[in-house]
Amino acid sequence: MFKTVPEAEALANGIKNELQNKKIVLAAHHEVVVAPHFIALVPVAGQIKGSKIGLSAQNLYFEKEGAFTGEVSAAMIKSAGCTYVIIGHSERRTYFKETDEVLNKKIKAALGEGLKVIFCIGETRKEREENITFSVIERQVKDGLQGISESQMSSIVIAYEPVWAIGTGLTATPAQAQEVHAYIRSQLGKLFSPKVAEATTIQYGGSVNAGTIESLMGQKDIDGALVGGASLKADSFVEIIQKGLK
């Protein structure tokens, strides 16, 4: 929950210009996506039109329409220009008590409208200290992706975000992150197939910045980053993109 509408427009335009000025070339398999708050979606879509930057919403509601005051549907965010939506962010799970069952409904609603999903999973500090990280991850993956087909998995990105490393300044070591990413991939192999597991993009999110991105991206099973606070300034975000592509 950052930036007024004019500020969000300026940030999106700044990211677009920084990418051009630094002559950063995005290959076909590279994607840069920004996720402003709901009321900035349409203005930001206008700022990034014609660029390779994609647009994501931060959340949605699983019903198509109705008396759900304050909620936004998949069709609504798609009409605003979104191709992606973030589902299950740790803050949604923690502050708004969103369950795996609710998130599963949201994923299905998004896919039903042709949106791609960035599905967030991750353990709390207490769960890590209790050595139940893997069982938490297994449950979130299994229950969150219940009823999803192999073909639908091509529209889903998994984002591992250890809750203890979000907004705390703490970052999982590359080895810690890789260990969980490899486990997530193994779970996808069991739930779907080795082919799906290999093809699924698994991002890391948790206080990612320009100083940590290269070591994280050097890990075998880390395919990208879900960037939080460091994305609020165009130059720092583009620096992360630039270093992440090396």
- Whether residue 89 lies in the annotated active site: yes
Grade residue 166 by pLDDT with cuts at 50, 70 and 90. Answer: confident
DSSP-based three-state secondary structure for 129: helix
Tokens, residue 16: 């677009």
Nearest residue to 175 (alpha-carbon basis) of 216, 226, 131: 216
DSSP-based three-state secondary structure for 87: strand
Predicted TM-score (pTM) of this structure: 0.97
CATH code, domain with 66? 3.20.20.70
Residue 167 has pLDDT above 80, yes or no: no
Q: Which of 18, 98, 138, 161 is catalytic?
A: 161
Grade residue 171 by pLDDT with cuts at 50, 70 and 90. Answer: confident
| Total domains, the chain | 1
Q: What is the mean pLDDT of the chain?
A: 96
Q: Which of 89, 91, 98, 181 is catalytic?
A: 89
**Which structural domain range is residue 95 located in?**
5-244
- Whether residue 123 lies in the annotated active site: no
Alpha helices in 72-151 (DSSP H): 74-79, 90-95, 100-112, 125-129, 133-144
Instruction: Render pLDDT for 104-146 as a digit per residue (tens, 0 to 9).
Output: 999 999 999 999 999 999 999 899 999 999 999 999 999 999 9
